[in-house]
Amino acid sequence: MTYSPHTDADRARMLTAVGVATVDDLFADIPASVRASGWDLPHPLAEQEVRAELARLAGHNRIPGVSFLGAGVYRHLIPSVVGEVIGRPEFATSYTPYQPEVSQGTLQSIYEFQSLICELTGMEVATASHYDGATAAAEAALMACRLTRRSRVAVSAGVNPDYRRVLETYCSGPGIEVVTVPIDLGTGGSGTTLPERAAQALGDDVACLVAAHPNFYGQLEPMAELAEAAHAAGAQLVAVVEPTSLAVLEAPGTYGADLVAAEGQPLGIPASFGGPYVGLMAARMASVRQMPGRLVGATRDVQGRKGYVLTLQAREQHIRREKAASNICTNQALMALAATAYLTAVGPNGLREVAELSTTQARHLVGALEAAGLAERRFGGTYFAEATLRVPDAARRHAALAERGIVAGYLPERDEPALGDTLLLAATELTTDDDIARLVDALEATR
């Protein structure tokens, strides 16, 4: 089925007006040597057939009944009202707000988004979104290079391995070297970036230290100390944070972060096999001219009405072209709106409850596994709502549980060989006591 409304009569009228005999005449400007030779594509489908096909594919996924998988993507409740907001066709089917007089809905909602992100992170300016947390972190590192005029970046091994791969790729563009600062991987160790190792890595040619809090392994990092180490070396601290944790954890702006990057997926966005998500980036006003991404600002119109516009556009590709800080054009606007709707729906009390439930259930989970003699914490220190546990024969048992519809978290050995026989388990406000009991039973059965 197609969506063109044109009948043969419509087409005939237009062809006559244009002054050509057939529609093929409209393609006469394509040199014969490069005309398409034909293609082998499926025939059109009616709506019921299309639905059958998509249902077939959806049916081939098995959504686990019980899951403790996080590792950067978290299953949270998405309030019903969020879908109502982003489903509004005025938001979904509008374009980038280049004509502000008819885009105040989009523009004001972005301004609200920017405000919310600043409030959560304790920073002074936030962009209208990036593709995801990984690219936000990479762009923040490149921004730090521009601000400090240095050409090396230090990243903690506690940052999500996927993010570190993306950082390497982005830095390879302008030839910026990435140095990895190890975390304490010892059994019973901190599982965090050691400030002395960070200080060693921070030479006078290093633009920033990128560290995550909580880190990929769920551990809380000594961020204030890392900020000090970075600043002492004239570098910036790029804090990669988890947005729901900011309901209860101190804002990065308060402990000395210069730049903040985060994945906004936990804020009302489904897992959707990896995307679309939303990258959050925040900074201080003094750096705003080096920030990549769109910014919305408040102003007034000719009649004294308050209004919002895209602003500081001279930073962006459509004006600055080869001198732009980044090439970003399309961003993740509708997902940013989802995050805005989510944060509005839950409010400060709701977000705090999400964080408290998540941390309580994570401790319940760890405690239950420890009590049953099934697992022990791999690291000392404190975790937020995700913990790395030592589980004998983890890979085999993880696979066995998956067969039974239980996903026992993530296997850190996929990225870090020193973490064999461990599981990274996350809890959220959706984790029930029953889920935990089922996990305990299932792991017991696979001893």
Partner 1 sequence: MAYPDDLAYSKEHEWVRVDGSRATIGITSFAADELGDIVFVELPEVGASLSQFGTFGVVESVKAVSDLYAPVSGEVMDVNEALRTAPELLNSDPFGEGWIAKVELADATEVDSLMDATAYAAETA
Partner 2 sequence: MSVADPPRTDASGRGAAFSGAAGGEELTVVEPLIFERSRAERRAVRYPSPSDRARKVASDQPELPASVLRQRPPRLPEVSELEMLRHFNRLAHLNQAIDLNFYPLGSCTMKYNPKVNEWAARLPGLAESHPLDPEGLSQGSLELMWLLAELLKEISGFPAISLQPAAGAHGELTGMLMARAYHRDHGDGERRTKVLVPDSAHGTNPATATMVGYETVTIRSNERGGIDLGALRDALGPDVAALMITNPSTLGIFEDQIDQVVAAVKDAGAIAYMDGANLNAILGRFRPGESGFDVMHFNLHKTFSTPHGGGGPGAGPVGVSARLEPYLPAPIPSLVQGDAAEVRANARALRSTPDARFALDDDRPKSIGKVRSCYGNFGMFVRAYTYIRSNGDAGLRTISEDAVLAANYLRVKLHDVYDLPYDRLSKHEVVFSGRRQKRQHGVTTLDIAKAILDRGIHPPTIYFPLIVEEALMVEPTETESLETLDRFVEVMREIAEQAASDPAAVKAAPTTTPVGRLDEAAAARRPDLRHAFPGEADAPEAPAAAPTPEAPTA
Task: Restricting to residues 305-364, name those near partner 1 by CB under 8 A.
Answer: 313-314, 319-320, 323
The site map against partner 1 for 54-83 (x = CB under 8 A) is ------------------------------
Q: Nearest approach, Cβ of 158 to partner 2 (angstroms)?
A: 15
Classify 416 as helix, strand or coil.
coil
Give the three-class secondary structure for 90.
Answer: helix
Phi first, then psi: what are they for 82, rounded to 5°? -65, -45
Q: Which residues lie closer than 8 Å to 416 by C-beta, 6 or more apart?
A: 157, 161, 185
Which of 240, 241, 220, 224 is CA-nearest to residue 232? 224
Specify the length of the chain in residues: 447
Q: Which does 394 bind (CB under 5 to 8 A by kind): partner 2, partner 1, none?
A: none
Count the residues of the shown chain that bind partner 1, applying the rule CB under 8 A.
6
Q: Are 365 and 392 in contact (CB under 8 A)?
A: no
Question: Is 149 one of the binding residues for partner 1 (CB under 8 A)?
Answer: no
Task: Give the nearest distance from C-beta 313 to partner 1 in angstroms.
Answer: 7
For 14-43, b/e burial (b = at least 16 CB within 10 A) is eeeeeeeeeeeeeeeeeeeeeeeeeeeeee
Q: How far is the CB of 154 from partner 2 (least distance, A)?
A: 18
Smallest separation, CB 286 to partner 1 (Å): 13
Distance CA 389, CA 377 (A): 4
Nearer to partner 2, 187 or 200 (CB): 187
> Minimal distance in Å, beta carbon 98 to partner 2?
8
**What single letter denotes the amino acid at residue 12?**
A
Q: 182 vs 287, which CB is nearer to partner 2?
A: 287
227 to 2, 90, 96, 255, 258: CA distances (angstroms):
56, 43, 36, 7, 9
Q: Which is nearer to partner 2, 10 or 200 (CB)?
A: 10
Nearest approach, Cβ of residue 326 and partner 1 (Å): 15
Q: Kindly tell me which of 139 and 233 has the beta carbon lying closer to partner 2.
A: 139
Least Å from the CB of residue 369 to partner 1: 57
Joined tokens for residue 412 = 């850190």
The string of DSSP codes covering 359-417 is HHHHHHHHHHHHHTTS-EESS-S-BSSEEEEE-TTHHHHHHHHHHTTEE--B-GGGT-G
State which residue, 27 or 98, has the beta carbon closest to partner 1.
98
With respect to partner 1, which residue has the nearer C-beta, 290 or 360?
A: 290
Q: Which is nearer to partner 2, 158 or 200 (CB)?
A: 158
329 binds, among partner 2, partner 1, none (CB under 5 to 8 A by kind): partner 2
- Of these partners, partner 1, partner 2, none, which one is at the site of residue 273 (CB under 5 to 8 Å by kind)? partner 2
* Shortest distance in whole angstroms from residue 130 CB to partner 1: 22
Task: Specify the residue, 174 or 392, whose C-beta has the smaller distance to partner 2.
Answer: 174
Least Cβ distance, residue 301 to partner 1 (angstroms) = 15
298 binds, among partner 1, partner 2, none (CB under 5 to 8 A by kind): partner 2
Report the amino acid identity of residue 29.
Answer: D
The Cβ-side half-sphere exposure at 75, using a 13 Å CA radius, reads 16
**Subset of residues 240 to 299 that bind partner 1, contact rule: CB under 8 A:** 289
Minimum distance of partner 1 from residue 314's CB (angstroms): 4
Residue 289: DSSP 8-state: G
> Please, which residue, 287 or 446, has the CB nearer to partner 1?
287
**CA contacts within 13 A on the Cβ side of 164:** 21
217 binds, among partner 2, partner 1, none (CB under 5 to 8 A by kind): none
The DSSP letter of residue 19 is: T
Q: Which lies closer to partner 1 via its Cβ, residue 35 or residue 323?
A: 323
Find the helix or strand (DSSP H, E) in which 402 lies: helix 394-403
Distance between CA atoms of residues 121 and 124, nearest Å: 9
Q: Are strands 177-181 and 152-156 parallel, antiparallel or unpaired?
A: parallel
Q: How far apart are CA 34 and CA 214, in angstroms?
A: 54
Contact partner, 8, from partner 2, partner 1, none, Cβ < 5-8 Å per class: none
CA max distance for the chain: 83
Query: Can you tell me the distance from the alpha carbon of 314 to that of 396, in angstroms, rounded to the nearest whole number?
Result: 55
Partner that binds at residue 19, options partner 2, partner 1, none, CB closer than 5 to 8 Å by kind = partner 2
User: Which residues make up the interface to partner 1 (CB under 8 A)?
Assistant: 289, 313-314, 319-320, 323
